Amino acid sequence: MSKIKKNKKNVFYDPSLKRRHFKSKLFKYFTLSSLIVSLAFLAIFFIDMVVKGSSAVQQTYVQVEVSYNEQSAENYRDAVDKKYLELLSRAVLREIPMQIKKNPSLLGTTKVAWMLADDQVDMYMKEYYYKISNKDLATLTELIENGRVEKKFNTIFFTHGDSKTPEYSGILSAMIGTILTLAVAMFVAFPIGVATAVYLEEFSEQNAWSEFLEVNINNLAAIPSILFGLLGLAIFINLFGFPRSSALVGGLTLALMTLPIIVVSSRAALRSVPATIRQAGYGLGLTKVQVVKDHVLPLAFPGIMTGSIIGLAHAMGETAPLIIVGMIAFIPDSPTSVMEAATVMPAQIFTWAGMPERAYIERTAAGILVLLTVLISLNAMAVYLRKKFEVKW
Amino acid sequence: MAKDKAKIVVKDLNLWYGDKHALHNLNIEIQKNKITALIGPSGCGKSTFLRCLNRMNDLISSVRVEGEVVIDGKNIYDKDVDEVSVRKRIGMVFQQPNPFPKSIYENVAYAPLKHGSVKKGSDCDDLVEQSLKSAGIWNEVKDILKEPGTGLSGGQQQRLCIARTIAVKPDVILMDEPTSALDPISTEKIEALMLELKKDYTIVIVTHNMQQAARIADMTAFFHLGDLIEYDETEKIFINPTHKKTEDYITGRFG
């Protein structure tokens, strides 16, 4: 915009223009600054999580001699040299007698192995706050000098469930719990939600009753999620007697919560299908089913998919209703069916966040990163599906 | 006019949108193999009347219809008549070209296949070809039958919609301002097509374009505020109308 000068010949000169342009500029920068603030919040959160969680990628291992003999078959404390006992993960040591029982040929052998270190050793190696006695610290320093302490990639985090020893705890069982719970929620909420939307949009007559329903479906979508947890507890556990803490109950509860979101978004998708398509169908003497199934639903499908996936992604990050139905349980072994006790990722993160040990902090952050990765992939999938099934006009 | 040539006989037709009385006591006989044009200012009820002829108004829950629409001796509002079978015999073409977002072939073949009037295969291929030929669009689309119908130009889309309607083998084709969204050249093609189609079909067309009514219609009905003011041969309506209102509208004094 070039400057318009006051000039008798300039018929377009307007004295108020300067002030008005200034105001619109001000408005533009106000909206821009809001965007910057929200982006800054997001960036701070992500950077903080990545910084805190990145150290969980590695875990400390100590090289020691493990002897499999009569004593260690009875008591794991005899499997390694006494001075290393406090430096090693108790969870791994405890498994030695079981290994011998499973594989008796190990008896009488000794081997030099990389054993998982105790969480305090790990904290020491990662230069966080640690609590190790002077005697153990001296042993550890000696081991480090001999190159017998190493940080390796933390496979345990991705292959194990929760544990009371932080170095041995992982996200796997919570991940499987999340998958099972979401599967139940999807199989229940998607068909019921879409069918409800089709009925309301295509079949029901517009009257006071349908308006009442519409208002209340929107209300349901806004109900605090913890109330759905109470509903799930009352109906699925107390009335139907389904096993508590199970993915079945959690999934059904999340389905209740997601249902209104799916109904509302599916209705919007159905409503956005142009009326001319329905008229064309009816004008050809087609029945309602033929028009809805073959012409309206395919056009509404991308919108329905997007709404449902976003609803499920929302349900996936939900914790409160699942705490009520007992899915905050301590689950070391991954559930193999929807009837078994399970926990979900956000509940796992919540549990770890409340633990006193320093080593759980990095696990909390790493858990959040895993959860966010899955959430972002789900949303990316929603965008992809939308693009793929979108009908070109 | 000879009674046996009447295809549609409308007797004392009244229609309400909720409390609003939209059509008042209409009586009209629409003749076989003729083009009947419905003209009148916006909101006069001509489109509403057109939709009464194939019971499209049934889709609006607030609409109530009284009176008779007798087609081939049967009142289509009788209790033992299903509106779906009415629409099968009374086809409809809309203002906005509205092909399904499917291939050109599927657009034409979909309804006959669903009605069971043809089986998949060569019968169906023949029907599609015949319908597209009747709609005068075969030469333009014969090589692109698998392409989406929505990729055609507006005029081609409208002829595709006519082909789709013909494929169901109706007796009557209702057209609701079929050329108002089209350019003059496409309009000309569709008008020529209508003159061709009236040999086999009875056509009722709603139009805002009075020259169009004068060019193609055999009979013209003038509607005003839900009343049928005048219905006669097109020449009579345009050259020597009986009613003052008709004359005022046609000469452009209101509308």
- Percent of chain B past pLDDT 90, that is, above it, reads 81
Chain B CB within 8 Å of residue A389 CB? no
Chain B CB within 8 Å of residue A283 CB? yes
Q: What confidence category does residue A2 fall into, taking pLDDT thresholds of 50, 70 and 90?
A: low
Chain A CB within 8 Å of residue B99 CB? yes
Q: What is the mean pLDDT of residues B107-112?
A: 94
CB contact under 8 A, A285 and B86: yes
Tell me the shortest Cα–Cα distance from A202 to chain B, in angstroms.
Answer: 10
H or E segment at B227?
A: strand B227-233
Q: Where are the strands (E) in A34-130, listed by range?
A: 58-68, 109-116
pLDDT score at A204? 86
Q: What confidence category does residue A392 fall into, taking pLDDT thresholds of 50, 70 and 90?
A: low
Residues 20-59 of B with CB under 8 A from A: 54, 56, 59
Q: For the segment A255-280, what is each residue's pLDDT rounded down to a tens digit? A: 999 999 999 999 999 999 998 999 99
pLDDT score at B1? 44
pLDDT of residue B4 exceeding 80, the answer is no
Contact residues, chain A, for B84 at CB < 8 Å = 285-287
Q: What is the mean pLDDT of residues A232-239?
A: 94
Q: For the segment B134-190, what is each residue's pLDDT rounded down to a tens digit? A: 998 999 999 999 999 999 999 999 999 999 999 999 999 999 999 998 899 999 999
Q: For the segment A280-336, what is each residue's pLDDT rounded down to a tens digit? A: 999 999 999 999 999 999 999 989 998 998 898 889 888 899 999 988 888 888 899
Pick A169 or A7 by higher pLDDT: A169
Tell me the shortest Cα–Cα distance from B89 to chain A, in angstroms.
Answer: 8
Helix (H, G, I), strand (E, B) or coil at A368: helix
CATH number listed for the domain at residues A172-389:
1.10.3720.10
Tell me the shortest Cα–Cα distance from B217 to chain A, in angstroms.
Answer: 23
pLDDT score at B3? 47
- What's chain B's length in residues? 255
Contact residues, chain A, for B110 at CB < 8 Å = 284, 294
For residues B239-254, b (16+ Cβ closer than 10 Å) or e, as one string? eebeeebbbebbeeee
Q: What is the mean pLDDT of chain A?
A: 90
- Percent of chain A past pLDDT 70, that is, above it, reads 97
Q: What is the mean pLDDT of residues A229-246?
A: 93
Domains along chain B?
A: 3-250 (3.40.50.300)
Contact residues, chain B, for A281 at CB < 8 Å = 100
Q: Please state, in angstroms and rounded to a whole number, the distance separating the CA atoms of residues B119 and B102.
A: 19
A 10 A CB-CB count for A358 gives 17
Tell me, letter by letter, the H, E, C secondary structure of A229-275.
Answer: HHHHHHHHHHHCCCCCCEHHHHHHHHHHHHHHHHHHHHHHHHHCCCH
Tell me the shortest Cα–Cα distance from B99 to chain A, in angstroms.
Answer: 8
Residues of chain A with CATH 1.10.3720.10: 172-389
* Nearest-Cα residue of chain B relative to residue A296: B100
Amino acid at the residue A373:
T
Long-range contact list for A127-130, CB < 8 A, 24+ apart?
A: A128/A55, A128/A358, A129/A358, A130/A358
Q: Which of A284, A288, A296 to mutate to test the interface with B (most CBs of B within 10 A)?
A: A284
Q: What is the mean pLDDT of residues A138-167?
A: 91
Chain A CB within 8 Å of residue B114 CB? yes
Amino acid at the residue A309:
I
Which ipTM was obtained for this model? 0.88
Chain A CB within 8 Å of residue B94 CB? yes
Q: What is the mean pLDDT of chain B?
A: 91
Helix boundaries (H) for A317-358: 320-324, 345-353
* Nearest-Cα residue of chain A relative to residue B84: A285
Tell me the shortest Cα–Cα distance from B166 to chain A, in angstroms.
Answer: 9
Q: What confidence category does residue A5 fall into, taking pLDDT thresholds of 50, 70 and 90?
A: low
Q: Please state, in angstroms and rounded to a whole number, the distance separating the CA atoms of residues A79 and A75.
A: 8
Contact residues, chain A, for B150 at CB < 8 Å = 392-393
pLDDT score at B142? 92
pLDDT of residue B82 exceeding 80, the answer is yes
Chain A CB within 8 Å of residue B130 CB? no
Q: Please state, in angstroms and rounded to a whole number, the distance separating the CA atoms of residues B60 and A206.
A: 10
